Amino acid sequence: MIETRDLTKKYGDFNALESLDLKLEQGDLFGFIGPNGAGKTTTIRILSTLLAPTWGEAYVCGYSIYTHPREIRRAIGYMPDIFGVYDDMRVIEYLEFFAAAYRIGGPERRRVAERSLELVDLTVKRDELVTSLSRGMTQRLGLARVLLHDPQVLLLDEPASGLDPRARIEMRTLLKRLQGLGKTILVSSHILPELADICNRVGIIEYGRLLACGNVQDLLAQVRGRPVIRFRVAGPAEPAARLLESAAEAAAVTVRDGEILVALADGVVDPSPLAARLVADGQRLLSMRESEVNLETAFLELTRGRLGREPEDAASVSPGEDD
């Protein structure tokens, strides 16, 4: 449904997007992750035919951005991070206005407007003024607008930007519902952990370059490295850590915030001998758990050295890693 080949956008000597190769299949819910200025919006604007690349190719629904821009615009729903609304219109009037812009006329215009409101759970606000809507409801109205012509592909630029926690949860639920309808969705965000819950595939972009792309579990496995076990004991952590340093099952041991972090040696999958060693020494073991790597730590690890920040856990205790 979406494919890019060597897609590049330059502004003078600045590379806003550099050699992007990306492929999305029908039904994908793709999370495009990166900080502000990473190239997410540039990519989306090129795919929506609003911005011409410096070179490279992109196809949406089989159409080239160079030769069939009108066909692409009919096939997509594009929601920018900031979009205008007409405050003096009622919600249903706002949607009917844009349905007319899509050349939907007669009784069908009201029907598709009502259908879009139902899809985004905004029917109860159909007769309210747009200016009376909350930020979250305004975002849902914007999504209802891009759904009017039943597009095959949705390009959503930071749809959860500025939303409170409840509104972000509602937005995630809505995106999953749209995926269930067979839509192909590219959603950009810098709210990293939230995308792990809804996207079947993610791409991490920084300084215009795609650093990693795949399903969430593959990316987590890529940065997980050695399993890291967190131990907490009743007494001081340092003596217990020194005890574990001599264990054959431990590759590296460190203490952080009262917890003992142990990177397991190659081939070790069972940390129970380490717990047994602590108990045999008279240590009172309060907890033992494997340290999780989420999408946020994956992002920090994959962009390591470019953002100037260090991830925690596995990267910081694995032997041979620079601090």
> Each residue of 255-310: pLDDT tens digit?
988 999 898 888 888 999 999 999 999 999 999 998 776 666 666 666 654 433 33
Q: Which of 16-30, 157-171, 291-305 has the highest average model confidence (pLDDT)?
A: 16-30
Query: Alpha-carbon Rg of the chain, whole angstroms?
Result: 25
**Average pLDDT, integer, range 116-122:** 93
**Average pLDDT, integer, range 111-137:** 93
User: How far is Cα 137 from Cα 125, in angstroms, rounded to an integer?
Assistant: 9
CB 65 within 8 A of CB 78: no
Q: Is the dihedral of CA 223, 187, 116, 124 positive or negative?
A: positive
Residue 319, pLDDT > 50, answer no
**Average pLDDT, integer, range 70-94:** 91
User: Among all chains, which residue has been given the structure tokens 């999953």?
Assistant: 176
Residue 224, pLDDT > 70, answer no
Residue 190, pLDDT > 90, answer no
DSSP state of 204: E
Phi, psi dihedrals of residue 277, rounded to the nearest 5°: -65, -40
CB 59 within 8 A of CB 46: no
Least confident of 85-89, 190-194, 275-279: 190-194
pLDDT-based confidence at residue 62 (cuts at 50, 70, 90)? very high
User: How far is Cα 42 from Cα 80, in angstroms, rounded to an integer?
Assistant: 11
- Going by C-alpha positions, the residue among 218, 220, 231 that lies closest to residue 292 is 220
Query: Which of the four CATH numbers 3.20.20.140, 3.40.50.1370, 3.30.70.100, 3.40.50.620 does domain 222-317 have?
Result: 3.30.70.100
Phi, psi dihedrals of residue 259, rounded to the nearest 5°: -105, 150
User: How far is Cα 25 from Cα 159, in angstroms, rounded to an integer?
Assistant: 21
Residue that wins the pLDDT comparison between 20 and 214: 20
Average pLDDT, the chain: 87
Q: What is the pLDDT of residue 44?
A: 97
Residue 51, pLDDT > 90, answer yes
Least confident of 11-25, 111-125, 284-298: 284-298
CB 184 within 8 A of CB 25: yes
Burial readout 36-71 (b: 16 or more C-beta within 10 A, e: otherwise) = eebbbbbbbbbbbbebebeebebbbbebebeebbee
User: How far is Cα 69 from Cα 175, in angstroms, rounded to an integer?
Assistant: 25
CB 187 within 8 A of CB 143: no
Q: What is the pLDDT of residue 196?
A: 74
So where are the chain's domains?
2-214, 222-317
User: How far is Cα 266 from Cα 256, in angstroms, rounded to an integer?
Assistant: 23
E-assigned strands of the chain? 2-11, 14-24, 29-33, 55-60, 63-64, 76-79, 153-157, 184-189, 201-206, 209-214, 228-233, 250-256, 259-264, 285-290
| CA 72 to centroid of chain Cα atoms | 24
Q: What is the pLDDT of residue 166?
A: 85
pTM above 0.85, yes or no: no
User: How far is Cα 23 from Cα 47, in angstroms, rounded to an integer?
Assistant: 12
Fold of the 2-214 domain = Rossmann fold (3.40.50)
pLDDT-based confidence at residue 220 (cuts at 50, 70, 90)? confident
